[in-house]
Structure 1
Amino acid sequence: MSPDRDRFPLIMKWTYSIKHKITTASLLFGVILVVLLINSNQRKQIEDLKSAFETIYRDRLVAESYILDFSEKLHDMYDVINDPHLPYVKKQEIANRILGEIDTLNHLYEATRLTEEEARYFGHFTGLTHEMDIRLQAGDLASEAPIIRSALLDLNSLSEIQLVEADKLKSETDKIFSMGSILLQFEMVVLIVIGLLIQALFFASKTSKGFRIPKNPNLN
């Protein structure tokens, strides 16, 4: 038998082994790539969730607390100017202090992120509080009551906006959680499939070790 014919089975086994190693390496690279992509997406989802929760706290919960403070102070002012037992000068003094506190709250509320609709209502509200101050300085307490009622209506609208925006943010976080769950399931399926392929390749590689090309006894 010629030397070339003896080397032929070895060459085939070597080629088969190299092919399997390349395929296995490619599959392992695919595993690494999938894991990296999923992890990158998960980091982005974490950042999105962090941003959403910060927005809910800073621009919705804090804003709602300001609205409650506004409402409380306006009700206090309404009670003061309609209190028959308080002297006129005392009413002016207390009303002036309350309007000063409301002005401070105006600046705090304005620092939150306002939607277009929210900015419109808040602009109308601050205009009303400015009008209250003008009438207070003019000594016209009698006309303050209807302005206070109008301002309270603006606060009610602003409070409803907080609920609507908070619900939108909740929907966004629900979508993020849902997408994260889908990606996790996809990752598991891909890893299982690739794992099965690698196992099949190893099994095929072990089987190929027993492969022998039968020798023809007549070939010498």
Structure 2
Amino acid sequence: MSLKKWAYGIKGKVKIAAVLGGVLSLLLWSNLMDRKRVTQLQTSFSAIYEDRLMVESFIFDLSSILHEREQLIITSLSSKELNDASKAHLKALDSKMMTIVDDYEATRFTDLEKRVFLEFKELIPSISQMGYNLQENDLAQTNKTLTHKGLSKLTVLSNIQTSEGQRLWEETKAIMLQKQSSSQFEIISLIALAIMIQVLLFSSTSVFKKIQQKPHLN
């Protein structure tokens, strides 16, 4: 009888071990997925901040520079004079514009964004040369045309930041929802594990009681 009891005990322990192993494997897999999702969240938030919000501030600053540059040239044409202070101001604006463009270029681009950015960048040499010679033919019209083209490109780039920011935010919400579902799965797995262990333990106890019964009592 003791041999049968031992056999049934081993069988029950194997069942419990199998259940534990299966559930722990699922929990380990869920934990690994959670770590992966945390990394994805960090990447997504980094992209939203560095490649979208920061770039939006670059675009705003570039737009401000173009407007300021345009107005300075208009004022100089009206007074028919570009004094040393105005020349220094133009140079400072041009230098600031190039610094911002370099910072912008260091961020990650979508295919469309890269194409529009390069189109804007191609305008910069012409914009930077403009205004230092007030005797230039059609300077007023050139000033207006180039400024309008630059601002149009920046508007397109700004719209791209909005759409890409929205896309990244939707991805972030999806990852957060998956993480929430994973946490719920872990809780349910632990509850199921506890229930299954209790069932196996009660089942083993019931078997032991039947084995311990004496033949003359049946």
Q: Where on the TM-score scale, by shorter chain, does this alignment land: which range? A: 0.7 to 0.9
**Separation of aligned partners in 2, 1:119 and 1:216:** 91
Alpha-carbon shift at residue 80 of structure 1 (Å): 0.6
Deviations along 1:111-143, one digit per CA (max 9) or x if unpaired, are: 111111111111111111211223445653432
Q: Which has the higher contact order (CA 8 A, sep 6+)?
A: 2
SS of the residue 1:23 aligns to: helix
Alpha-carbon shift at residue 214 of structure 1 (Å): 4.3
Deviations along 1:2-37, one digit per CA (max 9) or x if unpaired, are: xxxxxxx22222111110011111112223222211
What one-letter code is carried by the residue in structure 2 that aligns with 1:119? K
Equivalent in the alignment of 2:108: 113
Distance 1:28 1:150, change over 3 A: same
**Separation of aligned partners in 2, 1:21 and 1:71:** 73
Alpha-carbon shift at residue 100 of structure 1 (Å): 1.9
**Separation of aligned partners in 2, 1:174 and 1:65:** 24
Residue 67 of structure 2 corresponds to residue 75 of structure 1: yes
Matches within 5 A, 1:41-190: 41-83=33-75, 84-85=78-79, 87-90=81-84, 91-136=86-131, 140=136, 141-142=139-140, 143-190=142-189
Alpha-carbon shift at residue 96 of structure 1 (Å): 3.0
What one-letter code is carried by the residue in structure 1 that aligns with 2:82? Y
Q: TM-score, normalised by structure 1?
A: 0.87
What one-letter code is carried by the residue in structure 1 that aligns with 2:117? F
Pair member with larger Rg: 1
Alpha-carbon shift at residue 213 of structure 1 (Å): 5.0
CA contact (8 A) 2:63 2:151 kept: yes
Alpha-carbon shift at residue 181 of structure 1 (Å): 1.8
SS of the residue 2:215 aligns to: coil
What one-letter code is carried by the residue in structure 1 that aligns with 2:194? G
State the identity %. 31
Unmatched 5+ residue regions in structure 2?
Answer: none
**Separation of aligned partners in 1, 2:39 and 2:100:** 30
More divergent stretch after superposition (60-69 vs 180-189): 180-189
What one-letter code is carried by the residue in structure 2 that aligns with 1:215? P
Deviations along 1:166-202, one digit per CA (max 9) or x if unpaired, are: 0110011111011112222222222222221110111
Deviations along 1:66-109, one digit per CA (max 9) or x if unpaired, are: 11110111111111111134722454443233122111111111
CA contact (8 A) 1:80 1:86 kept: no
CA contact (8 A) 1:96 1:136 kept: no
Equivalent in the alignment of 2:195: 196
How well do the aligned residues superpose, as a CA RMSD in angstroms?
2.0
Equivalent in the alignment of 1:35: 27
Count of residues in Structure 1 that have an aligned counterpart in Structure 2? 209
**Separation of aligned partners in 2, 1:208 and 1:56:** 61
